[in-house]
Structure formats: C-alpha cells, structure tokens
Amino acid sequence: MAQRTVTVASRVGLHARPAMIFTQAVAESGVPVTIAREGGEPVDAGSILFVMGLGVPHGEAVTLAADGPDADRVLDELVTLLATDLDAPEAGAPAAGATP
C-alpha cells in the first residue's frame, strides 16, 4: 500500500470548497484512497462527508493511502492538490469588489 503525508495548505483546512475539490479529484482518479489525521482512523477520501467530518485545520498533516497500479501517481497528484491553498484567488482573477 502506497502512503503519503502532506500538510493541508488551504486557509480553512479541509472544509467546504477545498474538501469538494479534493474528493472530486479522488473520485475521478478511480483509485480507492483513504485519508487520516495523525493517530486517527482512515476514512474514505472520496466522501465529502467523511473528509469534512475529520475537521482537518490549516497546517495539519494528513496521511493518504491507496492500493493498486496507479496508487503512486494518484497519491502524488493528491498531495500536490492538498499542498495548494485551494481557497486562494485564482491567479489573474480580479479580487472581490475590484473593477477591471
């Protein structure tokens, strides 16, 4: 079983938008992935309810695990995703209330 540990970069942790983006990426990968807080039980990383239920705050490390021929590739992609602030404004997009 392949495993990766990553620190959650999103400002709100794994809640709302970041959790949705993460769980969609897991579902689209087609690989069963689990996620766990340090010392906690792993949960299905494809379930937004389970992921949000973990209550992972910004800056906390989580462990991802997967099995199968594409596990390493999928975990590497998910680590990159979680290491990104998924709440940050998109590059080049105007800030809220800004006029072009």
Residue 9 CA, chain-centre distance (Å), reads: 9
Comparison of pLDDT for 96 and 15, the residue scoring more: 15
Domains and CATH numbers, the chain: 2-82 (3.30.1340.10)
**Contact present, 62 and 8 (Cβ < 8 Å):** yes
**Contact present, 81 and 21 (Cβ < 8 Å):** yes
Active site (annotated) includes residue 58: no
Query: What's the pTM?
Result: 0.86
**Contact present, 56 and 13 (Cβ < 8 Å):** yes
Comparison of pLDDT for 45 and 89, the residue scoring more: 45
- Catalytic choice (4, 6, 10, 15): 15
Q: Are strands 2-7 and 43-44 parallel, antiparallel or unpaired?
A: unpaired
Q: pLDDT by residue (tens digit) across 37-69?
A: 999 999 999 999 999 999 999 999 999 999 999
pLDDT bin (cut points 50, 70, 90) of residue 90 is: low
What backbone phi and psi angles, to 5 degrees, belong to 48?
A: -60, -35
